[in-house]
Chains A and B, each alone.
Chain A
Amino acid sequence: MSAVLLIEDDDRIRLSLAMALEDEGYVTHAVATAEEGLELQRRQPADAVLVDLMLPGMDGFECIRQLRRTDDVPVIVVSARDDTHDIVAGLEAGADDYVVKPVAVKELAARLRALRRRGRAAAQAGPAMTVLTFGDLEIRPEAGEVRLHGEPVAVTRTEFRLLCELAEHPGQVLSRQQLLSRVWEYEIGDERLVDVHVGRLRHKIEDNTGRPRHLVTVRGLGYKLQP
């Protein structure tokens, strides 16, 4: 039984979503403010977080940023606003995915499952330790570890899945659509998910994000990972 933290200020939405998610088999921790949510996550960590962007007090963007300082838990933004600016800002703050209200509960559950699969893949530590090396960048898929210059790098689970997907095809260009379907399991999805995650990864694994060495963009085609 996995737990979901739901941060939503609208009482009716919070109540109905919590009930519906429980029907789908989740234990739901539902709170109305970002502050309460962060506090609850510290005491009683959930396996996924659903967060609204417009919240009283601390807003959803800041909430995601604070959460990301200590936690690699999958975060899905659930917002009624669908303008590009909010979506990209939410992803840049550290969210793994976003859905626009009204979202069908089945769809939300499918998103949560996709994210948890990603999480599980990273957590499967086996005895045979593969190390994928790209110059000074080391990726250990089974251990869920990334090292740059020998130092561990903190990445979220989705970032790690994205990195592994690229690392398993060294030097090969993967299109945004391929990455969307392999990492996010979207048949038709928003390519900005890929772009923002690549940007976030570059901040962590590149010395100069303006001129990336490892995670390079191939114009018009997609991305590839190289030494």
Chain B
Amino acid sequence: MRRAGLRTRVSAAFAIGALALSACVTFVSYELISNTLFRERERAAVRATYFDATVINSGLTGGEPEVRELLQALDIGADRYVLLYRSGQWYSRSADEAAGSAVPVKLQEMAASGEAGAQRIRRDNEAALVVAVPVQGQAVFYEIVSLRELERTLQLLALVLTAVAIMVSAGGAAVGWYVTRHALRPLAAVAEAASGIADGDLDTRLDPDAEPELGRLTASFNHMADELSRRLKRDRRFAADVSHELRSPLQTLAAAVSVLNRRRDTLDERSAAAVGLIADEVARFQALVDDLLELARSDKPVQREPADIGLLAGRVLRSRGLPADLVEIVPGTPVDWTVDRRRVEQALGNLLDNAVRYGGGPVAVRIGKGFLEVDDDGPGVPADARSTIFDRFVRGPAANARGGGDGTGLGLAIVAEHAAAHGGKVVLLDRPGGGARFRIELPDE
């Protein structure tokens, strides 16, 4: 699985951090607020109960009082409910005999022993508070106070706090995303410069004053680019020097061998054979030096200019002594192509040489929109050779030893380099009816 990007990870970390922090804050503040509110409510309820108990207490003095009337006379709101337990009998404002069932037994016992108390209970699925105050004559006065309103308030509070926590963590993620975008922006500049260098623009450098925090990165990047361009220049100069040093002795060899070759008839058989070998090898050596230099320089950018592709192909065929009418142009093919003329000529020429040397000669050169094909009449390319055929120094079995035997083994590698320099590629196909078909694909600029 692909690892999540830096931005995603940083944003997630910010979000989790914000969530943890806001959850803590929410939890603590909820606890504090609810405790305070409950305590306030309890205190108020207890105070009210004592007040009511005083009223009841005075009402119970003397004779046989009408307890229910006493209770009904109390001024209570809708959320309170009063009870009186007296001589084993429960009294409430209504004729509800089971009214005392809501009062916990523990509280009843405590109150019976003459102690006042309060306890939180759940009644009809609602929170409530029961306050017990003993009054005279072994009676106990109870008030049940509904905490429904308080509970609603706390529910709302919890909802609001949760919403805030969620918004805070989303905010954290957004901050993470924003911050990383800013933090990564200088890296985008580095990436752009690096791809510029990779594309061959060796003068690309980063501005050391643009991002002071990235000073070290900038300095080492620019140092790397300097080193790279210095080495490339040195390599190119080396290639040029080598070529010069090889070309001079080769010129002597080529001229001297041609002098000897002219006199082969006057030499004895062994000497003539030896001279023939030297002449062939000198020719191959020349081709090798040219091909190696071509490869050494193949990373240079292409020099595009409009060229009539049909005429170009005709010229290349004629230069190889092949009939120009091998060229077939697919209808709808543009006449002028914007390409590096010299490189396309060489690539096509190499494919033709390849067809002559290994493929029994070219049978067609087909030109269509964005491609050039060379069909040959050979046995095709065996499957195990296909993956390496465009590698350097790979040669096929020569079908036709004309022109001094083997080639340099660099021809198809050069074709691949020239196609790649144009942003295209060379591919090997099967010609319908046997033989190989090499296709150079040159995309539009």
Q: What are the interface flags for B243-257 relative to A under an 8 Å C-beta threshold, 1 for contact and 0 otherwise?
A: 110011111111110
Contact bitstring B274-313, A, C-beta under 8 A = 1, else 0: 0000000001001001000100000000000110000100
A183 to chain B, nearest CB (A): 15
Q: Check A20–B259 contact: CB distance below 8 A.
A: yes
- CB–CB B319/A188 < 8 A: yes
A220 — which chain B residues lie within 8 A by C-beta? Answer: 305-306, 336
Against A, the Cβ 8 Å flags (1 = close, 0 = not) of B217-251 are 00000000000000000000000100110011111
Complex alpha-carbon distance, A81 and B342, angstroms: 18
Tell me the A101-118 residues at the B interface (CB within 8 Å): 101-106
**Does any Cβ of B come within 8 Å of A125's Cβ?**
no
* Residue from the list A16, A81, A188 in contact with B315, Cβ < 8 A: A188
Which residue of chain B is the closest to A221 with respect to CB atoms?
Answer: B306
B311 partner residues in chain A, CB cutoff 8 A: 177
Which residues of B are found within 8 Å of A101, using beta-carbon distances? Answer: 247-248, 250-251
Given A16-B255, A102-B286, A105-B255, check contact A188 B345 (CB 8 Å): yes
Q: A83 at the A/B interface (Cβ < 8 Å)?
A: yes
Question: When the two chains form their complex, are residues A102 and B259 in contact, meaning their CB atoms are under 8 A apart?
Answer: no
- Using a Cβ–Cβ cut-off of 8 Å, how many residues does chain B contribute to the interface with A? 32
Q: Are A17 and B255 in contact (CB under 8 A)?
A: yes
Interface flag for A151 (CB, 8 Å) = no
The listed residue (A23, A81, A82) touching B258 by CB distance below 8 A is: A23
Contact check, B315 vs A177: say whether CB atoms are below 8 A apart: yes
Interface 1/0s, chain A 114-140, versus B by CB < 8 A? 000000000000000000000000000
* Complex Cα gap A71–B390 (Å): 50
Chain A's nearest CB lies how many Å from the CB of B14?
57
Cβ proximity bits A1-20 to B, threshold 8 Å, 1 near / 0 not:
00000000010110011011
Does any Cβ of A come within 8 Å of B181's Cβ? no
User: Is B243 a contact of A19 with CB atoms below 8 Å?
Assistant: no
- With A13-B251, A16-B252, A17-B251: A104-B258 Cβ-Cβ less than 8 Å: yes
| Closest partner residue, chain B, to A19 (CB atom) | B259
| Min CB gap A26→B, angstroms | 13
Extra contacts besides A20-B256, A80-B244, A187-B319 (5): CB < 8 Å = A101-B247, A102-B289, A104-B254, A104-B258, A104-B283
Q: Can you show 8 pairs from A to B with CB atoms below 8 A apart?
A: A17-B251, A20-B258, A23-B258, A80-B251, A82-B243, A187-B315, A187-B319, A191-B341
A contacts, CB < 8 Å to B? 10, 12-13, 16-17, 19-20, 23, 80-83, 100-106, 177, 187-188, 190-191, 220
